[in-house]
Amino acid sequence: MMSLVMFSGCSQEQQFNIVPVSGILLLDDKPLGDVSLRFNPRKVTDDPIVGPPSVATTDQDGRFQLTTVRGSNTNGAVAGPHRVTFQAIVTDEESGAYKLPVPVKYEGGIDAQVPTEGTENLVISLSTWD
């Protein structure tokens, strides 16, 4: 169930190995719901183009399924290394107050690997302890 997504650049066409990715987000071994995740592919070759990022929001059980954010919004993510970031949640619309749904030490994100064949069981396990 792999798909290739093509993007038009300035003068070249790029193909990326988009694979299905779903999983669970845990904080202290407990599911973490209502968190927006962004998977940003990391550069692994001399090619400056790394492919589209993917996003998801966890459900109440911490489960998520990634979707690319450019092109055809294909389910999945580019195979390879990624930087995963977590989006702040607005807690008060009037004041614009927000909170980061994960410990502050994860504010810059974490590294994750998307397997070449994809996965239905990617576990992102975070901890409030060092």
- Model confidence pLDDT, tens digit, residues 48-102: 888 999 999 999 999 999 999 977 778 999 999 999 999 977 777 888 788 888 9
Does the pLDDT value for residue 3 go beyond 80? no
Q: How far apart are CA 73 and CA 67, in angstroms?
A: 6
Cα maximum dimension of the chain:
48
Q: How far apart are CA 74 and CA 88, in angstroms?
A: 24
Task: Using a cut of 0.85, tell me whether the model's pTM lies above it.
Answer: no
First to last CA, the chain: 38
Site of tokens 């400056």: 48
Question: Using the 8-state DSSP alphabet, how is residue 75 labeled?
Answer: B
Q: How confident is the model at residue 5 (pLDDT cuts 50, 70, 90)?
A: very low
> Which two structure tokens, joined as six digits, stand for 84?
């995963």
